[in-house]
Amino acid sequence: MRGVQLSLNKTQKLRLETALEKLESLSSTTSNNSNASVTVADTIPINYEDGVLKGHGTSEMDGRVVATICGVVERVNKLVYVRALRARYKPEIGDIIVGRVIEVAPKRWRLEINFSQDAVLMLSSMNLPDGIQRRRTAVDELNMRSIFEENDIVCAEVRGFQHDGSLYLQARSQKYRKLDRGQLLRISPYLVKRRKQHFHHLDQYGVDLILGCNGFIWVGEHVEAKDDMVVDQMIKSEQENASLSGSVSSCEQEQSHTSVEIRQHICRLANAVRVLSTLGFMVTVELIIELVDLSISHNLNIHEMLGAEFYVIVAEKEAERRSLATKKR
């Protein structure tokens, strides 16, 4: 929440500072100092029970355990370590990521995923458009650009690391696909928690929301995941009909057009993500929807969500929510 730069008047600045101070005080009084924020040289209280393990970001000095980096104190059984904030993304196997294709190479695509090096998606690690499980041929390799090309946005899963340190992805599912008709947002990876579900279909808005573990967030028009063989049959039938009629059907025109209402929903949800990211709040689907409802209840236009007043309102609401949650404990 530090480093927030907004065009605030005196009243708004005072309200925002009060809300942020309240949030920091609530964070520092968390039980057992778990999830407490620390800076360099801050003391990390421990019970000195037998077998305490000092992990990453900690050091012992004059009988005290101090933090060597800025971050959040985490405890796993007897292991105490500091999770760095604003650090680059550190991939783990099974992570859902959103990336941008930067190169089409022989039998593979290279993707930018906000990591220290590019990721690799092999042609053999994804489903083919025809839906048939078979060996990839030279013809498939020649047609790679018909699947993904440079600057395409792709959703995939971290498969693992090779001996040379290369990060490999896989896309063997209908949910892993090319993403279009939406917005790609880039936030700090630490603001996205690893959860069981990173794909969200917001039915009330007709929008798909993908929270990439690498800090890339996708907000786009909802796309129904269909079986490959069904899709292949539909494409063939449409091609036959088009060849017979010699014109594009009205159904195809509708499929290539995103309605104004859905575009507005996409922009409003994207602005909610931007507000949460700027304030340094964790980005979850629940908070995003809450911010959208809050903006609507205040009769704010989409562009007004990025105004100083809305940032102050969101900070005050979050401080109030955390305060109530602390009292309930």
CATH number of the domain enclosing 56: 2.40.50.100
What is residue 255's predicted lDDT score, i.e. its pLDDT?
A: 57
Q: Any idea what the CATH number is for the domain that residue 201 is in?
A: 2.40.50.140
* Band of residue 280 on the pLDDT scale cut at 50, 70, 90: confident
CA 82 to CA 58: how far, in whole Å? Answer: 7
Residue 214 located in a structural domain: yes
Mean pLDDT for the stretch of residues 42-71: 81
Residue 68 located in a structural domain: yes
73 and 174 share one domain: no
CA 148 to CA 1: how far, in whole Å? Answer: 37
Residue 324 located in a structural domain: no
56 and 109 share one domain: no
pLDDT of 80-102, one tens digit each? 888 877 677 889 899 999 999 99
Residue 251 located in a structural domain: no
The total of structural domains in the chain comes to 2
123 and 266 share one domain: yes
CA 250 to CA 256: how far, in whole Å? Answer: 10
58 and 161 share one domain: no
70 and 112 share one domain: no
- pTM metric for this prediction: 0.79
pLDDT, averaged across the chain: 83
What DSSP line would sit under 298-328, residue for residue? Answer: TT--TGGGGSHHHHHHHHHHHHHHHHHHHHH
Does the structure show a pLDDT above 70 at 31?
Answer: no
Supply the range of the domain harboring residue 64: 34-85
Higher-confidence residue of 134 and 271: namely 271
What is residue 27's predicted lDDT score, i.e. its pLDDT?
A: 67
Strand, helix or coil for residue 114:
coil
212 and 155 share one domain: yes
Residue 22 located in a structural domain: no
E strand or H helix at 61: strand 58-61
Residue 1 located in a structural domain: no
What is residue 251's predicted lDDT score, i.e. its pLDDT?
A: 46
What is residue 286's predicted lDDT score, i.e. its pLDDT?
A: 94
Does the structure show a pLDDT above 60 at 222?
Answer: yes
Residue 290 located in a structural domain: yes
175 and 214 share one domain: yes
Does the structure show a pLDDT above 80 at 273?
Answer: yes
132 and 220 share one domain: yes
What is residue 80's predicted lDDT score, i.e. its pLDDT?
A: 86
Residue 6 located in a structural domain: no
Mean pLDDT for the stretch of residues 150-178: 90
